[in-house]
Amino acid sequence: MIRIEIDEPTLARTRIAISPFAEAVCSLYLLQRNPDGAPWPYDGWARQAREILRTVPAVAPASFYFHAPSRLPDFLDPIPETPVSTITEQLDRFRATPAEIIEEQFATYYPSGDLPDSMRPFRDDREAALNRLADGLAAYWEAAIAPHWPAMRAALDEEVLLRARALAADGPDALLARLHERIRWERPVLTLVKALEHSFEAVDKRLLLVPLIFSRGALTCSTDHAEVVMVTYQSRGAALLAAAPVPHADDRLAILVGRGRAAVLRALTVPASTTGLATTLGLAPSTVSEHLAGLQAAGVVHRRRAGRRVLYGLEPAGIALVNLLGGDSAPAEFVS
């Protein structure tokens, strides 16, 4: 367990941001943790990414994360400085990481001064090491992630909108309580349920929440920044990476309402827009609109405006349908 005791000023400064850099790093960890093949919906993407790593020389430095220690100094997975950063902006800032930041974090992680072999270049030839890794990550991003980024970005935008709306409407307590099944909020302690045992206090800082498509349920926490504690969590929308539909012969919800409408109902356990649903489920917006119209007419889905967007969510009858019939099989995503 990682337990973070959060004081009131830190809690009040809770914010949400997107980090392409963290997506890239997390995707490499996903490949590392699943050497024999990643699970659905990452399986097709993972095969392509491994082939890229095997055949494209320019991406080779990115494999640094395959061999790095399990606990990394935060400069190697930096906190995003703006709510919506581009990968180019983050890599530029990474290249310019000051020597004193690296020295300070090395002193914390390796107080004896005995650095792992993989870390020594960042001490002995900082600029060259930073540039080499940044170049490798840039090439890896362009080949393995950039083709998927527009859809990923749309899903992440939807996630941020929903979480920001919850934060504004209900406050940080409600947001943290519903963030992820393996994140527990019992004021004043935020607990990340994982094998690592660590506890610390966040005093007069800012809590930054970063949703990640590639998380696959993995939770990370960055603590080295003087002003920010970053917590990453699994974003909705990972199904957009799937290459093909997954059959569900025993799907009672799909038998009752149809596979497309069953997919929409399951996805609406978190409110979403038509565009967000289309991106997440891999369906045409017109198809999603047709499903939503039918479900709304049946009284199982409602429509609400949130600023310039229209969000759809489940009525009590829709929640009952999903709870009673929707758990028979894996989510029926990427169906028509």
Question: What pLDDT shows up at residue 328?
Answer: 46
**Mind listing the pLDDT tens digit for each residue in 250-280?**
678 888 888 888 888 888 877 888 888 887 7
**Mind listing the pLDDT tens digit for each residue in 136-150?**
999 999 999 999 898
Question: What pLDDT shows up at residue 245?
Answer: 44
**Mind listing the pLDDT tens digit for each residue in 57-69?**
999 999 999 988 8
Question: What pLDDT shows up at residue 244?
Answer: 43
Q: How far apart are CA 186 and CA 176, in angstroms?
A: 9
Q: In what order do the strands lie in the sheet with 183-186?
A: 183-186, 189-192, 2-6, 198-202
Q: Does residue 169 sit in helix, strand or coil?
A: helix
Question: What pLDDT shows up at residue 246?
Answer: 46
**Mind listing the pLDDT tens digit for each residue in 84-128?**
889 999 999 999 999 999 999 999 999 998 999 999 999 999 999
- The model carries a pTM of 0.76
Closest CA to 159 of 14, 310, 17, 40: 17
**Mind listing the pLDDT tens digit for each residue in 154-207?**
888 888 888 888 888 889 998 998 888 888 999 999 999 887 788 888 899 999
Quote the tokens at residue 39.
């699970």
